[in-house]
Amino acid sequence: MMQPHSLVPVPAGFEASDGAPFVLSSAMGIDGDPDAATTLAALVEARTSLSLDGESRIHLRIARGGPAESYELTVDAASVVISSADAAGLFYGVQTLAQLITREGSDWIIPAVRITDAPRFAYRGVMLDVARHFFGVDTVKAYIDRAAGLKFNALHLHLTDDQGWRIHLNSRPKLTEVASGTAVGGDPGGFYSKADYREIVEYAASRHMIVVPEIDLPGHTHAVGLAYPELVEVPVITDHMLEIVRDYGGEVPTAGVPYDGMAVGFSSVRVHDEATYDFIADVFGELAGMTPGPYLHFGGDEALGTDPADFALFVERVSELIADLDKIPVAWHEVGAAGGLHPATIGQYWGFVTPADGMDDKARAFVRGGSKLILSPADAIYLDMKPTSDFALGLTWANGVTSIERAYAWEPSTVIDGIDDSDILGIEAPLWTETVRTQGDIDALAFPRIAAAAEAGWSPATGASDLRTWESFRERVGALAPLWTSLGIEFFRSDDVPWVVEPSAE
């Protein structure tokens, strides 16, 4: 019996048949939901060069009543049918179908199968840091396509940091006028106009993804000080920060001078100045009107230049401000240390798979307050970590090299004691960009480890399926090489994966 050797993330239910496969040809066509049909036609053409414009043999149907984002896919020699509870489920069924296409001699075939599928977690995110290095709209759209093809449904954009401010706001135009032009290593910066941001949001929505914008506060705010020096404190220079400067280069940050290094934790807004909260109200108020998704992320990480009592006061006020905008606040797990945090705030855990330094206690605070967690353990799911020790891109601070196997091996329900699936909103795979400059760099670091993150977010829990194993995953992800190649993805061909080389037509 055939196993789903090319499906990532592995579906909840998979039944293979001994029947004849469905043979694709340009004499057949697609009917049903027009958006899903357009997506499928484009994937088939990219994979096979076939244009499907004949008699309808592939049927795409929305049948209300099932779980959100779920779908069923049935293939036999005569037809292909995908039915789903909603448009998102139909889109994901189309992605699964594209993964099943394979060459057999001179034919393109889809094996006879029946798949029933639904996601484990509601939130399945990727994060792109556009502050350390800036990426234009086309690159962001390409990343959306890549992530959506693996059934991710959220794009977290890290829009601000010490190195630059990347979103234009009419209420505070100086931010992009004077604080957007630099990036790590002295590279050029950039920013998104309101039209650019709208284009990204709309494109994501067409792929059934929301955009989660992040304005990182109260630290990571050196760029704010370039535009509004009266709102920020003097940089706090610590021995740890000087170690980062020594190890990674760059200058020690200076007030009022653009920063292009990699140190963190030295900047802070002025917590006791009401002008700071006027600024934040302007920023998040305008951003809320630009963002149809439910979440606004206000950072809260590595605020080493902010007194703990001041930090608690700050996150209490900012989380309340965001909630008053009818948005759900999201913040990194450090914010869990603040007692007055708005109870709706979602925590994002970036500690290790085995928590250290009380990071798990801070994460549990969100659940005690009645909210949930997004899990992003840095030593498993940070896509910017080096996949091998000699890899040209990436860093190693998260417990060293993050191999593909290590990226796959973690189980969300066991990271934090006392936290199970009911407490977890989902997972997110961040890609920080200190060493990343191009679309090819993004691909090389993200793929194939992004597929491991996709499986952690979508598929049954480890142990709940015979296919949720490293040995199964490495075979399945290796079988995606022809599809990824046809889609122009410049993935890292790790020796840990048996990459399939598709035979030419006979």
Instruction: Tell me the catalytic residues.
Output: 302
Give burial (CB, 10 Å; 0-12/13-18/19+) of 316.
middle
Provide the sign of the torsion angle of the four alpha carbons 22, 27, 28, 33, taken in this order: positive
d(CA 224, CA 407) in angstroms, rounded, equals 35
What is the residue-wise DSSP string for 64-114? TTS-TT-EEEEE-SS-EEEEESSHHHHHHHHHHHHHH-EEETTEEEE--EE
Could you tell me the two tokens for 452?
Answer: 């491991």
Q: Are 240 and 412 in contact (CB under 8 A)?
A: no
395 - beta bridge partners?
385
Q: Taking the CB of residue 222, how many other CB atoms lie within 10 A of it?
A: 29
Could you tell me the two tokens for 22?
Answer: 């469905």
Residues in Cβ contact with 199 at an 8 Å cutoff, skipping those fewer than 6 apart: 137, 141
d(CA 28, CA 471) in angstroms, rounded, equals 37
Antiparallel, parallel or unpaired: β 210-217 and 154-158: parallel
